[in-house]
Amino acid sequence: MEDFKVIDNYLMIRLPNEIDHHKSVDISSKADRYIMSQKVGNVVFDFERTTFMDSSGIGIILGRYKKISCFGGKVYAVNADGRIRRILMMSGLQDIVEIMD
């Protein structure tokens, strides 16, 4: 299961092993609930456990970005392996997501 944690103004999302459409619906709605109720400004996606991601993962990131960017919030990706980085780049997300080690 994915884990959610709020630290200061950041929502940390520990993503599951596999991110597809089936999983993404749940992750997005939970994340939105945290963003609304805890008024967090930034979102950090932690890919440490993730070994598979399709374009649904891009949808999760883009959707959350749209929700927080108008209030000046930022989106971060941490622990993304080579393949996930490649998928983020292919989708042009390097401009909106800060990819960190």
Binding site for another protein (CB under 8 A): 18, 20-22, 24-25, 28, 52-56, 58-60, 62-63, 83, 87, 90-91
Nearer to another protein among residue 79 and residue 91 (C-beta): 91
Minimum distance, C-beta of residue 100 to another protein, in the bound complex (Å): 21
Q: Is 7 exposed, middle or buried (0-12, 13-18, 19+ CB in 10 A)?
A: exposed
Nearer to another protein among residue 52 and residue 71 (C-beta): 52
Nearer to another protein among residue 7 and residue 48 (C-beta): 48
Minimum distance, C-beta of residue 8 to another protein, in the bound complex (Å): 26
Contacts of 101 (CB under 8 A, 6+ apart): 78, 79
Minimum distance, C-beta of residue 1 to another protein, in the bound complex (Å): 15
